[in-house]
Amino acid sequence: MKTKLIAALLGATVLATPALAADPESCKAVRFGDVGWTDIQVATGAASVVLEALGYAPEAKTLTVALAFGALKSKDLDIFLGNWMPSQTAEVKPYMDEKSIDVIGANLEGAGYGIVVPQYVADAGVKALTDMGAHKDKFNGKFYGIEAGNDGNRIITEMIAKPENNLAGFEVVESSEAGMLTEAEKAIKNNEWIAFLGWTPHPVMGEMKLHYLDGMGDSGFGSATVYTNSRVGYVAECPNAGKFFQNLKFTLAMEGAMMGPVLKDGADPKESAKTWLKANPDAVKPWLDGVTAFDGGDAAAAVAAALK
């Protein structure tokens, strides 16, 4: 009788004991760097939706690529999902050399990045970078880029400076993703010549008939992989959140679908990501492999409840 009573009490104790927190309290806040590109906004939004469901408190800070790497080094940020490589090699190399940031892993493969022209411009003979110089007037001597400090703008500026590219007199017009797309859409509507930064995934650019210019050499333009960076030691300090970020991987189709409402309808990136995740709940399952809720509870159950 006494043995049964002890066993029952032990069972009750086990049932009454709350699950242990998966990460220390210091890991509850997750600070993202957001450089304002739609693909990084929706990726950050999707990760934030899941982290909130797990009991974390994510927040995103908007800043340039250079500032994002600096903030990871100074530990003012925890995570950056926008390390496009190899185009950001010059920006990230100093931090990699001194081991002041960590690379958690790739979150998107099969991406692309480079200078694009409308297909009708390529059909007219401009298929490579060195073809542009002979048509400077038609291009108004301009390349349209995005925000100041962006790696793509830097690469184009370096290309202009090389005599062998025959681009003397060209300049980079720095704007924003939205501003650049406005110029591109206007030019294409009027059958005008324009050269601008293009990348994949991108639903708006995906609907345009574009040609990626050849002759990029070792500039960093071309096929791209996007990596997740963290402040040094983050995965060791926050192993549960760290495991989530190690698992976090997107596809071109996923990001394109989440970006569409943002670019076409002005939707909030996080809300667009949440809507997509609600419609595609199985996409989250690989992200939660080996992950628990912040309080140690069932991660899949917590996310499923949040996405109802």
pTM score, whole prediction? 0.84
Say which residue the tokens 């909030």 belong to.
268
**CA dihedral over 63, 69, 74, 75, signed as positive or negative:** positive
User: In the prediction, which pLDDT does 19 show?
Assistant: 53
Say which residue the tokens 């190399």 belong to.
93
Q: Are residues 59 and 196 in the same domain?
A: no
Is the Cβ–Cβ distance between 255 and 39 less than 8 Å? yes
Under DSSP, is residue 176 helix (H, G, I), strand (E, B) or coil? coil
Largest CA distance in the chain: 97
Question: Is residue 1 assigned to a domain?
Answer: no
State the CATH number of the domain containing residue 271.
3.40.190.10
Angle at 269 between CA 297 and CA 68, to 5 degrees: 85
Q: Are residues 119 and 248 in the same domain?
A: no
**Structural domain of 257:** 24-111+224-306
Is the Cβ–Cβ distance between 204 and 257 less than 8 Å? no
**Given a cut of 90, is residue 302 above it in pLDDT?**
yes
Give the domain-ending residue among 222, 253, 286. Answer: 222
Say which residue the tokens 């797309």 belong to.
181
Give the pLDDT band of residue 13 (cuts 50, 70, 90): very low
Q: Are residues 126 and 217 in the same domain?
A: yes
User: In the prediction, which pLDDT does 4 show?
Assistant: 41
Task: Please give the sequence-ordered ranges of beta strands (E in DSSP) within 23-78, or none if there are none.
Answer: 29-34, 57-62
Give the domain-ending residue among 172, 192, 222. Answer: 222
pLDDT tens column, 51-102: 999 999 999 999 999 999 999 999 999 999 999 999 999 999 999 999 999 9
Question: Is residue 147 assigned to a domain?
Answer: yes
Q: Are residues 229 and 193 in the same domain?
A: no
pLDDT tens column, 127-170: 999 999 999 999 999 999 999 888 999 999 999 999 999 999 99
User: In the prediction, which pLDDT does 220 show?
Assistant: 86
User: In the prediction, which pLDDT does 20 show?
Assistant: 64
Is the Cβ–Cβ distance between 37 and 180 less than 8 Å? no
Give the domain-ending residue among 172, 200, 222. Answer: 222
